[in-house]
């Protein structure tokens, strides 16, 4: 147990919690008012100030910092506020109470925020940068949904409010919580992601579906009984373990293995606030020391991104945060009397209690509020309510300890706090050192495009209201790389496998495409659905034109009205065309250009890819930018703008010739994107680092003359003559041995990846092995000796 310090001996800068408050309303309440977020938050803040025992105006006058927990309405770039909201929520709440704080702060996204912000601003007080702060959060999701669904547009209230003033908006801080692969496969909602982790844990424990479901019910049933007695609970109903996990019309499966009653309830109207200040300020305001609660220990850790975690069934960062917070507080877990462990899903609780040796039936209970499925999950702010309850418990049993464990993301971020009325000076934690140890464990390698035999690592199935199921599978390839995949909606054998007790660990088969990875029970099942076919040309295309002339193929992007920008359908056609070109032994050179005289290609057609922007062929834009090897020459005939993805397509080609009016550039940064289809790699190699950085970071464009001088292109054609120039270049290539051309391309690509010059030269020696047995080599030498033009066969 940590050593207690007499109150009078505390440094005046020591941070101390002096007031907590909560506010709530349910649609079914007789006095339901439909309060907006700012009004409900103001009630909680006023309650916290009154809880200090001092006069509310006196406390409000001394608050110099107001900190808001970010709401779900502004937690990501895709969030929205259907009824509007204040432009500065911390100051909107302050205005309602008559405060004019020096500083307003809006925290980052995540359920770890309440505890993390408490730790941060306790440290700010100790450092003398703040004397008194109020930290609050509120959600009115229930009210918003009710009004949007039941009230006509012209009768709905408008919660918009122009407040203005200084605000330190921390942003979302959600980078890494979702990857492009997760988005492509529809693996975005926390419920799906937690369900995958939950099934991985069930497999690790070796439990049947039925036994694991009972365990989840037994873990959460006691929480519902606590929620039943909490006046702020959104669902104050005590439920049995069996009731929680029994599937029926009112308790449907929302994501295997979860039923509706055991997942966080976000349709709530709840707010909570904490007043924290220096001991010196508390003394000035005459706040009774019996109401003071100290933050004895604290820690913040983060987990790797979901797809990189060594073990999907557990997240060690959470227990590490708890253990370190206890170390800072100098107390053992068995000395803690009050516990609140974030309970959005069962695994969030198990992930903490398993490594700490706690049981679901621990005498202390695992929640102070009633838990997120029953008390409610007010967005990012749940743990503020837990802190408020912890403060009340510590006051009611002086010298006892309370532990609050807050979780954000998908077991992604953990913030832990240890509270007590025992006076203590502020102690700084070493979360950075804990994080170093966590980060020292190697991450799992991932594979965007997965093909071949694999092992099923985890999964979830989401029933659709229309009867269609969504299957999400995480698997491992033979080299242990991890991938994410979907199940075809009508693939009954695969869904039947997932419904068994022992699906995880099964051998499966995966195939990739532009639309993502798909899994099957075996290769035969994959072939039945996707019979093998040889690449071939169609008689016509909707967005592409082709022309064959002997050994030459001319390909034209035919979307001039869109400046030949590419959408998914055009990309798919080009990918198909180049598959056929590389497979056709009678075609030796290809030219790629754009229709009209305005643009080669303006890149990705953003106007048509809002919903399917991630649907790019495995081989990249135009079927070229992500190919590991282009075995035959492709010449880019740039007849106008080559911007963004269009420039990246040209860079992927072996030779670029340009109309004198052509323009090259990578303007992605100007629209919040990046040149990720090869531009960030190929442009520096083509023009040098200095110019490439200038172009990439500013969006600077080069005209044809500048591009020639920089080495980006090899030749310039007079206006309107670029295809004639490209055909001349193609004729020069066709005059050479196609075998030698192909082997030279392959050797150059191999050597490019070798940094040592001599090693790179040595790597090209195996070209001789191919040329020695080539008919073209014999023909070339014979023709030279005979002083006649060679007759190449391409073999």
Separation between Cα atoms, residue 562 and residue 606, nearest integer Å: 10
pLDDT given at position 791:
80
Of 20 and 188, the one with more pLDDT: 20
CA nearest neighbour of 641 among 692, 582, 704, 579: 704
Strand partners, 20: 274
Q: What is the pLDDT of residues 198-249, one digit of tens each?
A: 999 999 999 999 999 999 999 999 999 999 999 999 999 999 999 999 999 9
Q: Output the DSSP codes for 331-400.
A: --GGGEEEEEE--SSHHHHHHHHHHHT--TT-TT-S-SS--TTTT---GGGHHHHHHHHHHHHHHHSTT-
Q: Which residue has the tokens 């508390």?
A: 282
Report the pLDDT value the prediction gives residue 770, as an integer from 0 to 100. Answer: 64
Q: In 3D, which of 241, 243, 245, 264 has the Cα closest to residue 253?
A: 245
Residue 413 to residue 119: CA distance in whole angstroms: 14
| Phi (first) and psi of residue 393, to 5 degrees | -65, -40
Report the 10 Å Cβ neighbour count for 481.
15
Read off the pLDDT of residues 47-57 as tens digits, 9 standing for 90 and up. 999 999 999 99
**pLDDT for the residue numbered 673:** 85
Best CA proximity match to 503, nearest among 511, 494, 512, 490: 494
Span 466-491, average pLDDT: 95
Q: Which CATH architecture has domain 452-529?
A: Beta Barrel (2.40)
Per-residue pLDDT of 74-104, as tens digits, reads 988 888 999 999 999 999 999 999 999 999 9
Three-class secondary structure of residue 422 per DSSP: coil
- Least confident range from 493-507, 648-662, 735-749: namely 735-749
The CA-to-CA distance between both ends of the chain, in Å, stands at 82
CA-atom Rg of the chain in angstroms: 32
**Cα–Cα distance between 588 and 660 in angstroms, integer?**
27
Which pairs with CB-CB distance under 8 Å and at least 24 residues apart come from 431-435? Answer: 431/299, 431/300, 431/301, 431/321, 431/324, 434/299, 434/301, 434/320, 434/321, 434/324, 435/301, 435/302, 435/317
Q: Answer whether residue 785 shows pLDDT above 90.
A: no
Strands (E), 25-59: none
What is the predicted pLDDT for the residue at 613? Answer: 47
Give the pairing type, strands 168-169 and 715-717.
Answer: unpaired
pLDDT mean over 334-340: 98
Q: What digits encode the pLDDT tens for the residues 752-767?
A: 777 776 766 666 666 5
Q: Return d(Cα 233, Cα 420) in angstroms, integer.
A: 25
Cα atoms found within 13 Å of the Cα of residue 7, Cβ hemisphere only: 17
DSSP state of 595: S
Q: Is residue 612 over pLDDT 60? A: no
| CATH level 2 (architecture), domain 7-181+260-439 | 3-Layer(aba) Sandwich (3.40)
Rounded Cα–Cα distance for residues 382 and 375 (Å) = 9
- Residues with active-site annotation: 648, 668
Regarding pTM above 0.75, the answer is yes
The alpha carbon dihedral of 572, 573, 574, 580 has a sign of: positive
Q: Which fold has domain 544-734?
A: 2-enoyl-CoA Hydratase; Chain A, domain 1 (3.90.226)
Could you report the per-residue pLDDT of 346-372, keeping only the tens digit for each? Answer: 999 999 999 999 999 999 999 999 999
Residues 6+ apart with CB under 8 A from 681: none
Structure tokens, 453: 């035999």
pLDDT classification of 1: cutoffs 50, 70, 90: low
Query: Which residue shows structure tokens 């604290």?
Result: 298
2 pLDDT exceeds 70?
no
Query: What gap in Å lies between CA 404 and CA 416, rounded to an integer?
Result: 6
Q: What pLDDT does 238 receive?
A: 97
In the chain, where are the structural domains located? 7-181+260-439, 182-259, 452-529, 544-734, 738-786
How do residues 258-299 score in pLDDT, each as one tens digit?
999 999 999 999 999 999 999 999 999 999 999 999 999 999
Q: What does the H/E/C string look like for 72-84? A: HHHCCCCCCCCCC
Query: CA-CA distance, 358 to 301, in Å (whole number)?
Result: 20
574 phi, psi to nearest 5 deg = -65, -40
Q: What is the pLDDT of residues 702-748, one digit of tens each?
A: 999 999 999 999 999 999 999 999 999 999 999 988 888 888 888 88
pLDDT recorded at residue 611: 46
Q: How confident is the model at residue 644 (pLDDT cuts 50, 70, 90)?
A: very high
Q: What is the number of other CB atoms lying within 10 angstroms of the CB of residue 153? A: 6
SS3 content of the chain, % helix, strand, coil (to 5): 40, 20, 40
CA atoms of 443 and 449, how far apart (whole Å): 18
CA pair distance 224, 219, nearest whole angstrom: 10
CA 144 to each of CA 87, 156, 253: distance values in angstroms, whole numbers, following the listed order: 17, 10, 25
Per-residue pLDDT for 610 more than 60? no
Q: How many residues does the chain have?
A: 795
Tokens of 153: 């547009």
The whole-angstrom separation of Cα 369 and Cα 383 is 9
Q: How many CA atoms lie within 13 A of 40 on its CB side?
A: 29
Q: Provide the 3-class DSSP secondary structure of residue 698.
A: helix
Give the pLDDT of residue 272.
98
Q: Give tens-digit pLDDT for 426-446.
A: 999 999 999 999 999 999 999
Question: Coil, helix or strand for 556?
Answer: strand
Report pLDDT for 778. Answer: 75
C-alpha 592 chain-centroid distance: 36
What string of H, E and C letters represents the secondary structure of 121-167? HHHHHHCCCCCEEEEEEEEEHHHHHHHHHHCCHHHCCCCCECCCCCC
Confidence of residue 5 (pLDDT cuts 50, 70, 90): confident
Burial class (CB in 10 A: 0-12, 13-18, 19+), 759: exposed
- In this chain, the answer to whether the domains covering 7-181+260-439 and 544-734 adopt an identical fold is no
- Find the DSSP H helices in 551-623: 568-583
Instruction: Give 172: exposed, middle or buried? Use CB within 10 Å, 0-12, 13-18, 19+.
Output: middle
Comparing CA positions, the residue from 735, 740, 781, 786 lying closest to residue 764 is 740
Question: Which residue, among 537, 612, 529, has the nearest Cα to 573 in the 3D structure?
Answer: 537
Cross-strand bridge partners of residue 475: 456, 483
How confident is the model over 101-143, as pLDDT tens digits?
999 999 999 999 999 999 999 999 999 999 999 999 999 999 9
């Amino acid at each position: 147990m940590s050593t207690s310090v007499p109150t009078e001996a505390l440094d005046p800068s020591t941070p101390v919690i002096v007031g907590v408050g909560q506010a709530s309303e349910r649609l079914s309440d007789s006095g339901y008012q439909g309060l907006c977020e700012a009004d409900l938050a103001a009630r909680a803040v006023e309650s916290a100030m009154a809880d200090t025992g001092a006069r509310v105006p006196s406390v409000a006058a001394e608050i110099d910092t107001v900190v808001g927990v970010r709401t779900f309405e502004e937690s990501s770039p895709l969030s929205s506020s259907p009824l509007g909201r204040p432009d500065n929520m911390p100051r909107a709440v302050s205005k309602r109470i008559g405060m004019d704080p020096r500083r307003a702060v809006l925290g980052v996204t995540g359920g770890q925020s309440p505890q993390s912000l408490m730790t941060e601003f306790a440290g700010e007080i100790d450092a003398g940068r703040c004397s008194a702060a109020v930290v609050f959060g509120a959600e009115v999701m229930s009210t918003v949904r009710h009004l949007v669904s039941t009230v006509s547009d012209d009768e709905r209230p408008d919660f918009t409010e122009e407040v203005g003033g200084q605000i330190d908006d921390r942003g979302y801080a959600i980078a890494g919580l979702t990857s492009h692969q997760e988005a492509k496969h529809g693996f975005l909602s926390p419920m799906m992601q937690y369900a995958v982790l939950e099934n991985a844990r069930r497999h690790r424990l070796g439990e049947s579906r039925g036994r694991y479901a009972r365990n989840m019910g037994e873990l959460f049933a006691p929480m519902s009984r606590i929620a039943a007695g909490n006046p702020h609970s959104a669902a104050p109903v005590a439920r049995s373990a069996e009731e929680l996990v029994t599937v029926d019309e009112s308790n449907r499966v929302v994501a295997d293995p979860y039923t509706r009653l055991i997942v966080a309830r976000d349709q709530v109207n709840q707010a909570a606030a904490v007043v924290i200040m220096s001991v010196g300020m508390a003394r000035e305001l005459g706040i009774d020391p019996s109401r003071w609660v100290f933050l004895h220990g604290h820690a913040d850790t983060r987990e790797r991104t979901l797809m990189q975690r060594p073990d999907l069934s557990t997240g060690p960062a959470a227990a590490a945060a708890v253990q370190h917070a206890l170390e800072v507080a100098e107390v053992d877990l068995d000395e803690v009397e009050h516990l609140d462990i974030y309970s959005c899903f069962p695994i969030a609780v198990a992930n903490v209690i398993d490594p700490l040796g706690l049981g679901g039936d621990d005498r202390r209970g695992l929640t102070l509020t009633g838990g997120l499925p029953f008390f409610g999950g007010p967005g990012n702010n749940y743990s503020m309510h837990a802190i408020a309850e912890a403060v009340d418990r510590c006051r009611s049993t002086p010298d006892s300890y309370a532990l609050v464990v807050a979780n954000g993301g998908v077991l992604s971020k953990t913030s832990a706090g240890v509270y007590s009325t025992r006076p203590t000076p502020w102690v700084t934690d070493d979360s950075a050192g804990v994080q170093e140890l966590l980060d020292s464990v190697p991450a799992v390698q991932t594979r965007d495009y997965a093909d071949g035999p694999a092992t099923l690592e985890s999964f979830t199935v989401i029933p659709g209201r229309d009867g269609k199921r969504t299957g999400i599978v995480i698997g491992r390839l033979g080299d242990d790389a991890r991938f994410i995949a979907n199940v075809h909606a009508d693939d009954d054998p695969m869904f039947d496998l997932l419904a068994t007790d022992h699906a995880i660990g099964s051998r499966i088969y995966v195939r990739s495409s532009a639309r993502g990875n798909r899994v099957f029970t075996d290769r035969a099942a994959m072939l039945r659905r996707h019979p093998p076919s040889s690449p071939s040309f169609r008689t016509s295309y909707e967005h592409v034109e082709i022309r064959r002339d002997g050994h030459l193929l001319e390909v034209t992007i035919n979307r001039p009205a869109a400046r030949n920008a590419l959408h998914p359908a055009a990309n798919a056609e080009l990918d198909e065309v180049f598959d056929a070109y590389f497979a056709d032994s009678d075609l030796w050179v290809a030219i790629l250009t754009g229709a009209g005289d305005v643009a080669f290609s303006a890149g990705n057609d953003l106007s048509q890819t809002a919903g399917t922007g991630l649907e790019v062929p495995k081989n990249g834009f135009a079927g070229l930018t992500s190919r590991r090897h282009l075995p035959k020459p492709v010449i880019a005939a740039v007849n106008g703008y080559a911007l963004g993805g269009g420039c990246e397509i040209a860079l992927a080609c072996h030779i670029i010739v340009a109309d004198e009016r052509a323009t090259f550039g990578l303007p992605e940064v100007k629209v919040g994107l990046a040149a990720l289809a090869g531009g960030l790699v190929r442009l520096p190699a083509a023009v040098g680092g200095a110019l490439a950085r200038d172009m990439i970071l500013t969006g600077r464009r080069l005209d044809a003359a500048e591009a020639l001088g920089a080495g980006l292109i090899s030749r310039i054609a007079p206006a309107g003559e670029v295809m004639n120039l490209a055909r001349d270049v193609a004729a020069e290539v066709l005059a050479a041995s196609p075998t030698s051309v192909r082997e030279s391309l392959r050797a150059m690509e191999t050597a490019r990846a070798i940094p040592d010059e001599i090693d790179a030269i040595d790597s090209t020696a195996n070209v001789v092995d191919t040329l020695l047995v080539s008919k073209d080599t014999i023909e070339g030498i014979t023709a030279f000796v005979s002083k006649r033009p060679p007759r190449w066969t391409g073999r």
